[in-house]
Amino acid sequence: MGNYMEKALPVRACYALKEPVNNRILILGLDAAGKTSLLQRALAKENVEPNFDVNPTVGFNVEMCQLDPTKRANYALWDVGGQDKIRSLWRHYYSGATGLIFVIDSTDVDRIDEAAEALKVILADQEMKSIPVLIFANKQDDDTALTVENITEKIGFNSATQERRKWVIQGCSAISGEGVSEGLRSLHKLLQAKTQMEKKQNNNFGKSNLRRSFRIKPRK
């Protein structure tokens, strides 16, 4: 029963929101990385300070949001709680996800390996195999924050380890807002590029099937 409810919840919320089925973005990362704060920042109107009075997320928050400046593409952003004891539930949200935002607390040097491992586990899942990824190196407003280059190196993300994946790492601060819309725009571009590539592949596949069907000799 417990498991059934866990699986059913995202789907029910998705109907309630009239979520476009192909635009679901998951926001994952360790507890206190700043996922909910970033969601608040993404939703805030220009020149309006978001409400950062957030508690640790026990279940999930889901909000519709435009990631691109033309405000045409509507995405459902799923912010899922990252506390250790509920991380095992993340996999119930993978199905149907089209993109991932992984948030890292750049000041949490002691847990950078734990964050890297959590990300590795997500990306190894069959359902997340080719999903585009935006990594937010959050809390760059803090003097003790690791640089984006440092984080990129520590989590072992490079073109060799991520050969077939579309990904980007963006330094940001949910509190000041710096880097947030840049990151979201980059993710939007990655998602668009992936859709274009898949369309092209489908077209080519259709054409080669057509060619093959002409090669079949008619029966005597």
Ligand X SMILES: Nc1nc2c(ncn2[C@@H]2O[C@H](COP(=O)(O)OP(=O)(O)OP(=O)(O)O)[C@@H](O)[C@H]2O)c(=O)[nH]1
**Interface ranges with Mg ion (CB under 5 A):** 35-36, 57
Interface residues for ligand X in 119-138 (CB under 6 A)?
138
Q: What's the min distance (Å) between Cβ of 59 and Mg ion?
A: 10
Nearer to Mg ion, 97 or 174 (CB): 174
Q: What's the min distance (Å) between Cβ of 24 and ligand X?
A: 18
Q: Which does 174 bind (CB under 5 to 8 A by kind): ligand X, Mg ion, none?
A: ligand X
Q: How many residues bind ligand X (CB under 6 A)?
A: 23
Give catalytic residues, as residue numbers: 83
Q: Is 83 in the site for ligand X (CB under 6 A)?
A: yes
Q: What's the min distance (Å) between Cβ of 135 and ligand X?
A: 14
Nearer to ligand X, 51 or 95 (CB): 51
Q: Which does 83 bind (CB under 5 to 8 A by kind): Mg ion, ligand X, none?
A: ligand X
- Bridge partners, 25 (sequence order): 77, 99
Helix (H) or strand (E) holding 102: strand 99-105
Q: How far apart are CA 60 and CA 77, in angstroms?
A: 10
Burial classification of residue 155, based on how many CB atoms lie within 10 Å of its CB (0-12 exposed, 13-18 middle, 19 or more buried) = buried
Q: Which of 194, 179, 89 is nearest to 137 (CA)?
A: 179
Q: Is 173 in the site for ligand X (CB under 6 A)?
A: yes
The answer for residues whose C-beta is within 8 angstroms of residue 127's C-beta and 6 or more apart is 94, 95, 97
Instruction: Answer for the pair 60, 92: CB distance below 8 angstroms, yes or no.
Output: no
Known binding residue 206? Answer is: no
Q: Is 81 in the site for ligand X (CB under 6 A)?
A: yes
Three-state SS for 206? helix
Q: What's the min distance (Å) between Cβ of 16 and ligand X?
A: 21
Structure tokens at 3: 């498991």
Q: Which of 110, 156, 102, 111 is nearest to 134 (CA)?
A: 102
* 10, 34, 99, 183: which one binds ligand X (CB under 6 A): 34
Which residues in this chain contact ligand X in the complex, by CB under 6 A? 29, 31-37, 52, 54, 56-57, 81-83, 103, 138-139, 141-142, 173-175
